[in-house]
Amino acid sequence: MKEYHTANGVKITDSDLINKDDFLLYMDGSNPHGVHPFVLHDHGFVICVVVAEHLQDALDEAFDAGKLDHFAITEDDMKDYDEDSGGVAFLGNASTACDIEGVSVEELSMPEFSMCKLLND
């Protein structure tokens, strides 16, 4: 299995990408939807890679795919959070409260299309 190391040394593989259908490479180099990969990791351990236009979209997609479930917090847990300090993100289609303070994100640029590289691989 091929792998890629990000600038911060996080190792990702093709199997980490959760929304392969949104990964669009155009032969002319255009990116009309402005999407690019976001690597979500917890202290260097990959949670997933998501292709999205914005970080919020990437986090929502990851939560809806079940990759951030363990960061969800209950209503009782919410009492421990100060409204002014933040710390709670509302993710996914259901806007579930999550504490994602331990999640790091690396934005990658969209790779250029190369038919020759794909055929040689």
Per-residue pLDDT of 14-40, as tens digits, reads: 999 999 888 777 777 778 888 999 999
**Does the pLDDT of residue 121 top 80, yes or no?**
no
Q: Which stretch of DSSP H or E encloses residue 58? A: helix 55-64
Model pLDDT, residue 17: 94
Rounded Cα gap, residues 59 and 50, in angstroms:
8
- 57-90 residue pLDDT tens: 999 999 999 999 999 999 888 888 776 666 789 9
pTM, entire model: 0.87
Query: What does the block give as tokens for 62?
Result: 């990851």
What confidence tens digit (pLDDT) does each residue in 86-104 have?
Answer: 678 999 999 999 999 999 9
Three-state DSSP class for 87? coil
Q: What is the DSSP letter of 109?
A: P
pLDDT of res. 117: 77
- Residue 47 CA to chain centroid, in angstroms? 8
User: Considering only CA atoms, which of 44, 40, 1, 42 is closest in space to residue 17?
Assistant: 40
